[in-house]
Amino acid sequence: MVNINLNLSFPMRKTFIILEKKQLFMKDFSNLTLDKVTIVMTSMSRWDWEFSSASWSLAKTFAQTQKVIYVDYPFTFLDYLKERKKPSVKARKSALIWGNNSIKQLSQFSPKLYALSPPLMLPINWLPQGSLYNFFSNWNDRRLAKSICKALKELHEEAFIYFNSFNPLYLTKLPNSFKPNAFVYQSRDNIRALEPYLRKHGARKEIEAVQSADLSLVTSRMLQKDLEALSGKKVAYFPNAADFELFKSAYELELNVPKDLKNIPKPIIGYTGNICHRLDYDLIKSVCEANPDKSMVMVGPRNHQGHTDINLDEIPNLYFTGPKKIEQLPQYLAHFQLLILPFLCNEVTKSIYPLKINEYLASGKPIVATPFSEDIQLFHPLISLEKSPQDFNKAIEMELTTNTEEKAKSRYTEASKNTWKGRVKLFWELLMD
């Protein structure tokens, strides 16, 4: 474990000293405050994706106090060929192909927040495990590390923490040329139960990351148990949170009705987030059929292809708005009468602490979810938890008919305890341990 010596309480006006380990770069921070240490964060998502991510939310929060370089999930040459006509890819063309203008200040979020578009990587996931894959994986890692070091130099930064927020395909074992003052790895999903593409090499490399990191974090209790058993190392519990200052507006303010909700009959049962493999589509259909007097509105990108045979577009009281920016979501939550988390209960979801639960709670609205994970169960009885369609529908009716201002305030108060600011404070406490 990295030995960090700090005096004082948060916020971060403290001495930061990292003592030498054989495998770590020696650096003395005795004259440096923590808010001068740059965070370099990699993840599986890009900052301008069509839906928000926990890593991006955390990066924006870190950037309130210190410089953050958020590294886009690297494009391979094949990714570029497939997506080159998209506006977001065209905007990155110079960085991806030539390595020019790769660092961009995101002053609309924070003057201390930067996005890095690394150059194109080799598409190697098709290779079997072995020496050939390892050779090209190391080549990609060195290429990515070189891009990060170049960005640090451009920003005149030397001291940095490398924070890998669930990107097990890159920089899980650091090249000798890449010398952060601390290496942090965070797992957010059970990679061993995810789609074959990611788990093929990612499952093995994630264990490598946990074993190499100075601090390993997980977002769920089940992940904590699994990764400690698989890696033989201590892993810290670091759950997701919410941008409370943003989402509390759904509870505190009179927000305008979004245009695409104006003609939808009330009451509205709402869902926000990725419409993907995690959802129980049979349950969703059942809720719509059992509640013909209610509308169900799903806000988010539709990625359900191949995960259900149900023609969702034929369900008369089911509506889709498409993806919305995170800043728009409180407006939708404010005009829903009830919120649902209809996740499947399986190996994937039992390791999930859903990002949206605290966003939902901040709105004060009643919530019905399936009991998919140990973490979601911790929110009962503030929320209803039911698995079968019959019981789920009964819970919807019960929550709607028994909702009170007192219950709404309790949900709101619970969300106020789970903020990204609080998680940043927890991060420094864990790193100091």
Residue 397 has what pLDDT?
97
Residue 143 has what pLDDT?
97
235 and 250 in one domain? no
Residue 4 falls within a domain, yes or no?
no
Tell which residue, 377, 372, 312, has the closest CA to residue 344: 372
425 and 282 in one domain? no
234 and 308 in one domain? no
402 and 276 in one domain? yes
CA 335 centroid distance within chain: 25
Helix, strand, or coil here: 215? strand
Residue 432 has what pLDDT?
83
* DSSP symbols for 335-394: T-SEEEE-B--STTGGG---THHHHHHHTT--EEE---SHHHHTTTTTSEE--SHHHHHH
- Per-residue pLDDT tens over the stretch 314-357: 999 999 999 999 999 999 999 999 999 999 999 999 999 998 99
278 and 164 in one domain? no
The model carries a pTM of: 0.89
DSSP at 21: -
- Per-residue pLDDT tens over the stretch 88-102: 899 999 999 998 889
Q: Which residues contact 145 (CB under 8 A, 6 or more apart)?
A: 171, 174, 175, 177, 178
Residue 13 falls within a domain, yes or no?
no
Residue 29 falls within a domain, yes or no?
no
- Per-residue pLDDT tens over the stretch 163-180: 999 999 999 999 999 999
144 and 44 in one domain? yes
pLDDT above 90 coverage of the chain, percent: 85
Confidence category of residue 6, pLDDT binned at 50, 70, 90: very low
Residue 24 falls within a domain, yes or no?
no
Helix or strand holding residue 320 (H, E) = strand 318-322
Residue 1 has what pLDDT?
42
Which of 28-32, 55-59, 295-299, 398-402 shows the lowest mean pLDDT across its residues? 28-32
Domain count of the fold of the chain: 2
Residue 8 has what pLDDT?
33
Confidence category of residue 33, pLDDT binned at 50, 70, 90: low
Q: What is the mean pLDDT of residues 22-35?
A: 48
**What is the residue-averaged pLDDT of the chain?**
91
- Per-residue pLDDT tens over the stretch 365-424: 999 999 999 999 999 999 999 999 999 999 999 999 999 999 999 999 999 999 999 999
pLDDT over 90 at 52, yes or no:
no
Write the CA distances from 16 to 34, 90, 152, 215, integer angstroms: 6, 41, 19, 16
Residue 2 has what pLDDT?
46
- Three-point CA angle 145, 148, 149, nearest 5°: 85
Range of the domain at 335: 244-415
Q: Which segments of 172-312 are extended strands (E)?
A: 182-187, 215-218, 236-237, 268-272, 295-299
358 and 319 in one domain? yes
253 and 156 in one domain? no
229 and 135 in one domain? yes
Look up the CATH number of the domain holding residue 128. 3.40.50.2000
**How are beta strands 103-105 and 268-272 bridged, if at all?**
unpaired
Residue 2 falls within a domain, yes or no?
no
Residue 305 has what pLDDT?
87
pLDDT over 50 at 10, yes or no:
no
Six-digit token string for 347: 């190996």
Reduced 3-state DSSP string for 84-145: CCCHHHHCCHHHHHHCCCCEEECCCCCCCEEEECCCCECCCCCCCCCHHHHHHHHHHHHHHH
- Per-residue pLDDT tens over the stretch 228-280: 999 999 999 999 999 999 999 999 999 999 999 999 999 999 999 999 999 99
Indicate the angle between helix axes 281-290 and 389-402, nearest 10 degrees.
Answer: 50
58 and 168 in one domain? yes
On whether the CB atoms of residues 368 and 290 are closer than 8 A, the answer is no
- Amino acid, single-letter form, for residue 256: N
pLDDT over 90 at 306, yes or no:
no
281 and 210 in one domain? no
Q: What is the mean pLDDT of residues 69-79?
A: 95
Residue 32 has what pLDDT?
53
171 and 133 in one domain? yes
Residue 74 falls within a domain, yes or no?
yes
pLDDT over 80 at 15, yes or no:
no
Residue 252 falls within a domain, yes or no?
yes
On whether the CB atoms of residues 335 and 255 are closer than 8 A, the answer is yes
Residue 118 has what pLDDT?
96
pLDDT over 60 at 28, yes or no:
no
Residue 194 has what pLDDT?
86
On whether the CB atoms of residues 37 and 29 are closer than 8 A, the answer is yes
Residue 7 falls within a domain, yes or no?
no
